[in-house]
Structure 1
């Protein structure tokens, strides 16, 4: 724990009224909100020269902590890490070939492989690493979080390494592997009767009764600061910053963080701008898509972003995306609109088809949320949302280890036999055609 609270590396500024909070000690003393207007949305600013950033990008990068000068931690000795954040941006040629063959588009398709993160193999690892490190530095030893799975798993692991007690509140239909993983790190789980919204409600009550800090969700400045480093990594690894960004969305920290990262480095990268955000939801839980479609029909009237439905107890095959009350939609929808992007709805009946196709073509088995994201690429092509010559980034979230039930459903060619005469060779090209037919069939 660092006892000296005076520092000049960073401060937090309220996005509503401009009030400045000097550090994270004070931020948590204020119950993670602005004392002037009560807004929970503050952003971190730095007293640092960004001219250093290109030199830092040229270093050997083994985690997002390479960008320590632009993260809100004062001492490196407090870093809690499993080598997360330095993950490859891959070119997936089979998607490029499909776009050329079916739509006559010459595009570059890159995939950001969060399943290769060193912590739990999800997009949540970098946020959990920064949170654990800050908690270690400022002396927080109790924390609570409501989650549908991936955030809780990541926070449980990293906070356990930092010796921080974490209480996790999850909807009752959360997959068992998440619960087992969290408790194996010594953290406690409360399974709540009801959906994610109810889990958040119970968690908030618990936090208030026991005076324990609670995650503020997708606008949490710790989450945003960690995930903004994706902008730095895209600049480091790609010849051209993406024109289009595709992601499965539950709350929307990804686009919020990209916007923050781009604004932060405008002084040295004046030409960089937000990609067109194309955010994908499954039809089992699609409140943001429904709100967007309504606004689109109405011509996006003033204040459209404040009008969105709430889905109670959403029934979806992708529990990590089961956020029926999208409280961050007002922020995310404005970013999507300003970027010229859109929201896309995918049919959950296509989940396995997408997963099997990607596994065959790329030899990468995606998790269910990642399959939702990848489905967004096909939808964007079909809806003419991608232009010739553009660079597309697909940000996939997790691999099959986070959802073994999904992997089990992908069994396709196995046969039960009792004698050798029942066995015959197969032809892999027939299998490939079958997979593509499943994906493209309306």
Structure 2
């Protein structure tokens, strides 16, 4: 679907340019979601020549030289925060990986790593003069974006979700924030949201293909790399679309380029067995997903990764797994429960089932000796459970599909 592209008001930025990760097409800075030549994902290529070490509590300013946005566009210091990254010796010993480290993103203000993307997305929108946008998600992204919008009185946002995910949205609706519940699944809610944006001439936020999202998530890993005593041999995260994996790959490349890392880790991606189209395709050696792989009504304990249609992003995840020597795996519902219990009892970490998927996968990989005790392993615990019930304020609406 066509979307409006917004160029910076200022002259072309010496800080970065856009580049297609698939065909190499390049452009001066603009808010564009896909490559006009091949429809591939775009990345901002940062000029790393003048990178300096910065101190501070606000992660966006600490890592400003690695972001495609200037400091004046970060208006609120509390949209996202730095989070702990530390060894997990008891858990590591229990699963046979004594050099295990955990990055605890459950400490973010809304309880998930998506606060990081909210901070950078809104800063990029300010940079391009975007004051109103439309978005959809299964809960965490929209919750984080809505909170950030509420803190900037110049912004307006319209969020859409499938009915099954209403309770996963913790959104205070009002004059500047609306939540529309669609009688359909996530994919149908996204289609309805895109149609709404086109009909009203508004910016479609873009989800996975919004490069500003991935730049925000990248900060999780830059913080982790700087906190660790040793470089990671393996990095593990649960995935739905795979934004986080795109983020860590780019962060690794940038840290290699400026000498902060000396080697690339293997990247291990995890889905749950009840909704694992990418893991199945990877296991079968397939290059793409088809309509037969789409799960119309996905279910499972790990609600944050319930994406039933991964066709648009699987090729990127397959490429990352192949290039890094990693894999895309799945874990069972029982394994999710066991891993979550282990995290709580052994490390005092009360995280969601999506976060626990990383530990479930590591138990299996260690048992199969695909990861060995001498290796340094970093897991991204992306968030915690929220007692969510959408705030059905005056702007809560319902839309039908069709």
Alignment of 1:248-287 (within 5 A): 248-269=238-259, 272-287=262-277
Aligned residue number for residue 244 of structure 1: 234
* 1:388–1:223 CA distance, 2 compared to 1 (3 A): same
Note the C-alpha offset of 1:65.
2.5
In the other structure, the counterpart of 2:296 is: 312
For residues 379 and 182 of structure 1, the distance between their equivalents in structure 2, rounded to whole angstroms, comes to 40
1:347-402 Cα distance to aligned partner (Å, 9 max, x none): 11343333333222222211121122222222222232211311111111111335
> For the Cα contact (< 8 Å) 1:258–1:274, is it kept in 2?
no
Distance 1:75 1:394 in 2: 29
Shift of 1:75: 4.2
Q: Answer yes or no: is the 8 Å Cα contact 1:351–1:372 preserved in 2.
A: yes
C-alpha distance in 2, partners of 1:312/1:92? Answer: 37
**Distance (Å, rounded) in 2 between the aligned partners of 1:286 and 1:75:** 39
Cα offset, 1:155, TM superposition: 0.8
In 1, Cα distance between the equivalents of 2:170 and 2:95? 41
Q: Pick which of 199-208 and 178-187 moved more.
A: 178-187
Greater share of helix residues, 1 or 2? 1
**SS of the residue aligned with 1:170?**
strand
Identify if the C-alpha distance between structure 1 residues 373 and 49 changes in structure 2 by more than 3 Å, giving closer, same or farther: same
Corresponding residue pairs, total: 378
* Offset of residue 49 of structure 1: 1.6
What is the aligned counterpart of 1:125 among 115, 120, 124? 115
What is the CA-CA distance between 1:156 and the residue it aligns to? 0.8
Q: SS where residue 232 of structure 2 aligns?
A: coil
Question: Corresponding residue for 2:46?
Answer: 46
Question: Is the 1:367–1:402 contact (alpha carbons within 8 Å) kept by the matching residues of 2?
Answer: no
| Residue 87 of structure 1 pairs with residue 68 of structure 2 | no
> Is this contact kept in 1: 2:79–2:119, CA < 8 A?
no
- Contact residue 143 and residue 170 of structure 2 kept, 8 A: no
Alignment match, 1:300: none
Cα distance change of structure 1 residues 403 and 355 upon mapping to structure 2, 3 Å threshold: farther
Q: Which has the higher relative contact order, 1 or 2, with Cα contacts under 8 A spaced 6 or more apart?
A: 2
- What secondary structure sits across from 2:304 in the alignment? helix
Deviations 1:92-116 (A, max 9, x none): 111222134xxxx6x3111011111
Q: 2:83 & 2:193 partners in 1: Cα distance? A: 32
- Give TM-score scaled by structure 1 length: 0.79
* Partner Cα separation in structure 2 for residue 198 and residue 319 of structure 1: 17
Distance change >3 Å, CA 384–CA 348, structure 1 → 2: same
Distance 2:379 2:74 in 1: 32
**In the alignment, what sits opposite 2:397?**
none
SS of the aligned residue for 1:8 comes to coil
Q: CA deviation at 1:135?
A: 1.7
CA deviation map 1:118-159 (0-9, x unaligned): x31211111110111122232212111110010110111112
CA contact (8 A) 2:48 2:65 kept: yes
* Worse-superposed segment, 72-81 or 125-134: 72-81
Q: How far 1:6 moved relative to its partner?
A: 4.4
- Distance in 1 (CA, whole Å) between partners of 2:71 and 2:325 is 40
Q: State the shift of 1:12 in Å.
A: 1.0
Question: How far 1:266 sits from its partner (Å)?
Answer: 2.9
> Structure 1 residue 195 and structure 2 residue 159: aligned?
no
Question: Does structure 1 retain, via aligned residues, the 8 Å contact 2:74–2:119?
Answer: no
Q: Given the alignment of the two structures, is residue 370 of structure 1 paired with residue 355 of structure 2, yes or no?
A: yes
Q: Greater strand percent: which structure?
A: 2
Change in CA separation of 1:48 and 1:390 when aligned onto 2, cut-off 3 Å: closer
1:325 matched residue in structure 2: 309
Are the aligned partners of 1:252 and 1:328 in contact in 2 as well (CA < 8 Å)? yes
Residue 182 (structure 1) shift = 4.4
Residue 85 of structure 1: how far off its partner (Å) = 4.7
Change (3 A) 1:335 1:48: closer
Aligned pair in 2 of structure 1 residues 332, 182: CA closer, same or farther (>3 Å)? farther
Q: Which runs of 5+ in 2 are unaligned?
A: 1-7, 390-402
Question: Are the equivalent residues in 2 in contact too, given 1:133–1:162 (CA < 8 A)?
Answer: no
Per the alignment, in what secondary structure is the counterpart of residue 306 of structure 1? coil
TM-score by length of 2: 0.86
Match in the other structure for 2:330: 345
